[in-house]
Amino acid sequence: MSLNTLEEIASYIVSEGKGILAADESNPTCGKRFDSIGVESTEENRRDYREMLFRASGMKGNIGGVILFDETIRQNAKDGTPLVNIISDQGALPGIKVDKGLKPVGNTEETVTVGLEGLDDRLKEYVSMGAKFTKWRAVIKIGESIPTDECINANMKALADYAKLVQDNGMVPMVEPEVLMDGDHSIEECFDASDRSLKSLFKHLQENEVNIKGTILKPNMITSGSKSATQADVDEVARRTLDCLIANVPSELPGITFLSGGQSDLIATAHLDAMNKIGGFNWKLSFSYGRALQAPALKAWMGKTENMFISQDALSHRAKMNRLASLGQWAEELEDE
């Protein structure tokens, strides 16, 4: 694969319906996932699990990029092959999460994502290790009188500063302004918080002269809060998400890859498919799912080597279903084949 420019890298990741496998859980988050199947989160177990995922046959043709955590980009497979090489051999580009997590803003419930300090040096090391793209996640909460404009602006400014530095180092920045699903808010409130976040993000990206053609957006979908008594259906989520994106995202952006944010695997696929069936936009609309790609594979694995093939089949299946959804060619009946 010879991909020389930021535009080529970004376009490759989302070409032909391909999407991204988010496997960049921090060690504590990976611990939570492993707790759910009774597996201890050791460095070796994390390596074995991820090696198994990256070797799944369904990576090829369905997954264009894999986001890694710092520990994983440095790891070798059991046979000594760097995990980065396994990913590349599957036709996917290695990416790396580079933010350093969330810091509370004063005494409030709001947070700002940190990690700009020392970022340039870290990026230079990741480039030397083969990373082609990066991720930075900003988190916006909906609640009583929040999100505030101050919180949105501080987070979006950090995303834009990060994106500029990443492009200066020759990698594609994924910008992730995640409005959390947590809470009992309405879909309208989710629309409003997402609309304000995206407006602020693209204003800051423009001010920093970030090359939009070499950037990938990783947003939430516009949904009802996970604890809301009224849950919007698939068609409403698809329409409102498209309305919000069309109002805010420049058409020259090559790809929008959604996070799953706690949606079930099937619903995340159904939403993506519904949007692509509606159409009417220029960007590729695809996936960058963590839980919605991995959940069935994790459950099938249970930490046992003898479950490796069924676990890999589960990941391959979800990867394929989501590629079809990115092309607007998914149907529920295909889930049983």
Q: List residues near ligand 13P by CB under 6 A.
A: 22, 137, 176, 259-261, 289-292
Closest distance to ligand 13P from the beta carbon of 176 (Å): 6
**Closer to ligand 13P at the Cβ: 193 or 247?**
193
Q: In 3-state terms, what secondary structure has residue 258?
A: strand
Residue spans of alpha helices (H) in the chain: 6-13, 27-35, 43-54, 70-73, 83-89, 119-128, 149-168, 187-207, 234-248, 265-278, 291-301, 308-326
- Taking the least distance from each CB to ligand 13P, the nearer of 202 and 289 is 289
Cα–Cα–Cα angle for 245, 248, 251, rounded to 5 degrees: 80
- Minimum distance from CB of 61 to ligand 13P (Å)? 21
Between 265-278 and 291-301, two packed helices, what is the crossing angle to 10 degrees? 150
CA quadruple 80, 85, 90, 96: dihedral, nearest 10: 120
**Smaller CB separation from ligand 13P, 212 or 292:** 292
Considering the complex, state which of residue 84 and residue 174 has its C-beta at the smaller distance from ligand 13P.
174
- CB of 174 vs ligand 13P, minimal distance in Å: 9
The residue at minimum Cβ distance from ligand 13P is: 290
Of 51, 110, 176, 189, the catalytic one is: 176
92: closest CA among 11, 20, 167, 25? Answer: 20
Nearest approach, Cβ of 306 to ligand 13P (angstroms)? 27
Residue 156 near residue 197, CB atoms below 8 Å:
yes
Is 203 a residue of the active site?
Answer: no
CA-CA distance, 163 to 57, in Å (whole number)? Answer: 32
Which residues does 48 contact at the CB level (< 8 Å), separation at least 6?
78
Residue 218 a catalytic site member: yes
As measured in angstroms, the least distance from the Cβ of 14 to ligand 13P is: 16
Shortest gap between Cβ of 291 and ligand 13P (angstroms)? 3
Q: Residue 281 and residue 271: Cα distance in Å, rounded?
A: 16
From the list 253, 10, 249, the residue with the least C-alpha distance to 134 is 10
HSE (CB half, 13 Å, CA atoms) of 51?
18
Return the number of the residue (78 or 155) whose C-beta is nearest ligand 13P. Answer: 155
124 or 292: CB nearest ligand 13P? 292
Minimum Å gap between C-beta 295 and ligand 13P is 9
Dig out the tokens for 233 from the structure.
């259906």
Closer to ligand 13P at the Cβ: 8 or 71?
71
Please name which of 147, 157, 158 lies closest in space to residue 99, comparing C-alpha atoms: 158
Q: What share of the chain is helix, strand, coil (3-state, %, to 5)?
A: 50, 15, 35
Catalytic residues: 176, 218
